Structures are given as C-alpha cells and as structure tokens.
Structure 1
C-alpha cells in the first residue's frame, strides 16, 4: 500500500506587492501538516480601509524575517475574496524540516 506523502508547510505567505501589511493571513497557520492531494483553504483578511485589489499566494519557507518563495500557487487572486482553495499536488516535495 502506498503511503500518502506528508507535507509540512513552514509557512504560507500571501504577498501584495504594494501593501503587504494590509493583508493578514488567517489560515493555514505556520507548521500546519497536510497530505499531498489534500485541498487546503487559504484565508486572509484585509485591513480596514485597505486598497488592495489582487494578492499573490505563494508557498514559502524559512524564518518570518527571511521567507523564501518555494512556489507561486496563484499569481493574481481577487483580494476581496478572502479565501482560496489549493489542492496540494501529489508530486510536491516534503519539507526537509
């Protein structure tokens, strides 16, 4: 029987190029563990009065002060949606930590 690949996400990061401080990531939380093939709901909240139109969603790892983008999940998502569902690819590599 094949075991499902376990993937540990050190951090999911939402990036808004002009006003990154206007986006607050709600989920998933750092160090959350998911299986390849699983669908993850990424949630964020915009700061009151934020004028953000689009966000880029990326898988990132490393310390919060120096995150490294491992993969862009979605390059341009409507920021006002506040949610994005991502199906973790079956061939994603597990985090080494």
Structure 2
C-alpha cells in the first residue's frame, strides 16, 4: 500500500464533512505541517492534482504526484523518524 506526504494546508481546504463522509482521519506530523494518507484516499480528495505522463498508445504509466510517496521499508523508516513519532507518552 502506497502513502503520500503533503502539506497540511492542502487538507485544510477540504471540508470536514467530506473527510467524515469518506471516514478519513489523516495522520499529521508531530509539528502539524504535513499529512500522510493512503494514496487512494489522496486521489479521491485531489483528483486534479495528479498528472499522467504522455504515453504511447500501448504503454500504461503510473500517475505523477506533486509530493513524495512511500511504501514498505521506506514508509516504516519515515514513520519511525522524529517528524512522525513523538517521544512524549500518551496518557
């Protein structure tokens, strides 16, 4: 499963009702400046932001996203870093 990291200001433009309707509770970075969410959820919220590369008729390519995407070990490393995990204990 791929995830995308993007500025939280982009998410602030989406009405809370839309997030509730899709049952989305995006995870924000420790400083609140970035959001991480599943790529398929991002595509539902921001369909016009992705671009498709020019293709030959027989080729199919993945969309190009304006922000970095992560999966697998790269995702685990990101989430265990200081930007996404807090040392403060939750009570």
Q: TM-score range by the shorter chain?
A: under 0.3
| TM-score with structure 1 setting the length | 0.22
Q: TM-score with structure 2 length normalisation?
A: 0.23
Q: Which has the higher helix share?
A: 2
**Structure whose CA Rg is larger:** 2
